[in-house]
Chains A and B, each alone.
Chain A
């Protein structure tokens, strides 16, 4: 069986380098000799429903709304996650899979409703800087990334965050960062997130293929620990 990774609209949602998340997943799968295929979905293409891991990145307001409308009209992403596919979303991508978010003119619009999170604009200044969080699932180390967003995101009552903020802003509500619901993850961490947190990349891979053999990638591990030590020297 070939592992299928689906990168959605990276032309629209690739402003902050998040397309690197797909490359890292492919890299770590290949290193373990897992047959892997990267499917690139561009505007105008149908979203395949048979993928294993779907990825959405961050982007500017206009492209975010454009991507949301394309995904809503297509419906493929919603059905894929309903049947258990994994979904990893960053920033604008995280906001648009939620219940509601600000549209291009600041009005509230409904998102894809894949997770129950609500993004709003407040008078708070834009959240820009390094972000460090303690993941809510204990087997993972500290997660680091770079956030750059205007909207703040409140989790619905059934939703768990990806982590609790130790440095930076994150969701901006209750010290939470991101969302982790079943196989669905949302985060404000760029970097890209799976580059700086290889353990999180493995969580996604494992959700699709089961147990993974150990793999130590010296540069990936060195980068992850350099970022953790620089940003959170207390650990």
Chain B
């Protein structure tokens, strides 16, 4: 009774937030539900089959892949959070949408994973990767790995992990069921020392071993070594779907692994369509830079809230892919990134106050963008605003 009332009020709050233009209403709706019934997560997940997806990079796209796969394979509707709202409130909203759907796929913030695993009793948890991200909030990578290791001590859930990542191997160390996928091994940029005992980790050609016993394990599934981040995540999603009893249609599996879409959006600004990638930490910047094709690139960097307030990590990234291109820097911390690419050897560097001004400077050829979290959100919100106005209110 309390739960259905909570959901009703939550729907209303979400609707108010949406029509008043204060976002998509996902978080407010979930907060309202949880405020009225604190046990809503437990109740809403009861009797359903859940998969949680967590890791530093690729949660939102992998969750979307998995939903597509499960829907294609079962013909059922799958409950999910569509906009990457991955803490308690967003998860409550996702569960409350289609409460009779048997299947649920949820992305989950790394720090919320222990409590969500406890409350939601998932059947499968996909752990994509762990790397440096927002050091002021999550702290050291090893701390997240430790937190997870203390969580996964039961055998009523199956973990699907990329076994090439030593932090995930360590996190899964006490888990009952682990399905390990390997992509041939690759050196982890943040794992010079052992996540378990802190001694220097002995890296061979992509595999690792420590005297304490932590080392690359035998994998049940082997993926192609050449796959990039999003495609590797698609392989993990296929294995998770299999564990949920779904046979993924071969065409879909091929489409997602061979042509895995990045978190990329085409923003229509000033008459230009700018393919923009979200890059929120060193690893996702490296992925984004590896794909840049245009001769002119806009880099937008803020250091607000979720971006992390320290921009030092910009110096951990190799920008040589930008040498010979025109680079226009914008965002609150445009000078930090402009100087960084200058020192890297990019000759043509400019700064502008706004993204629109950057486009105006870009000239007529194709332009691509890379944006930090809040910069990307701003662009996305501007797009929504524009669409709402174009659609016109009665």
Contact = CB atoms under 8 A, between A and B. Distances in A.
A220 interface: yes
B316 A19 contact: yes
Contacts of A223: 335-336, 338-339
A105 B135 CA distance: 20
A147 to B, nearest CB: 9
B140 A191 contact: no
Contacts of A129: 309
B313 interface: yes
A146 B310 contact: yes
Given A148-B135, A219-B335, A11 B192 contact: yes
B316 A192 contact: no
Interface stretch (A62-70, A80-88, A159-167): A62-70
A23 B343 contact: yes
A226 interface: yes
A14 interface: yes
B315 interface: yes
Contacts of A141: none
B312 A20 contact: yes
B123 interface: no
Interface in B302-361: 309-316, 335-336, 338-340, 342-343, 349
Interface string A195-235: 10000000000000000000000011011001000000000
A225 to B, nearest CB: 9
B316 A14 contact: yes
Contacts of B309: 129-130, 146
A11 B187 CA distance: 11
A146 B312 contact: yes
B384 interface: no
Contact of B316 (A17, A60, A61, A128): A17
- Interface centre among A23, A24, A104, A219, by most chain B C-beta atoms within 10 angstroms, is A219
A16 interface: yes
A190 interface: yes
Contacts of A16: 135, 310, 312-313
Contacts, number: 85
Nearest to A18: B312
B132 A15 contact: yes
B140 A190 contact: no
A148 B310 contact: yes
Given A23-B343, A219-B342, A65 B198 contact: yes
A62 B136 contact: no
A226 B311 CA distance: 14
A12 interface: yes
B190 interface: yes
Interface in A1-32: 11-12, 14-20, 23-24, 27
A12 B311 CA distance: 19
Contacts of B315: 17-20, 23, 192, 195
B42 interface: no
Contact of A43 (B132, B192, B310, B349): B192
A223 B329 CA distance: 13
A18 B193 CA distance: 18
A27 B135 contact: no
A176 B221 CA distance: 55
Interface of B: 132, 135-136, 140-142, 190, 192-194, 198-200, 309-316, 335-336, 338-340, 342-343, 349
Cβ-closest 5 pairs across A and B: A20-B315, A62-B198, A17-B312, A17-B315, A219-B339
29 contacts: A12-B192, A12-B193, A16-B135, A16-B310, A16-B312, A17-B314, A17-B316, A43-B192, A60-B142, A60-B193, A61-B140, A63-B193, A63-B198, A66-B192, A66-B198, A66-B200, A130-B309, A146-B309, A146-B311, A146-B312, A190-B312, A191-B311, A191-B312, A195-B315, A195-B336, A195-B339, A195-B340, A219-B338, A226-B335
Given A148-B135, A195-B315, 7 more contacts: A16-B312, A18-B312, A60-B140, A63-B193, A148-B310, A219-B338, A223-B336
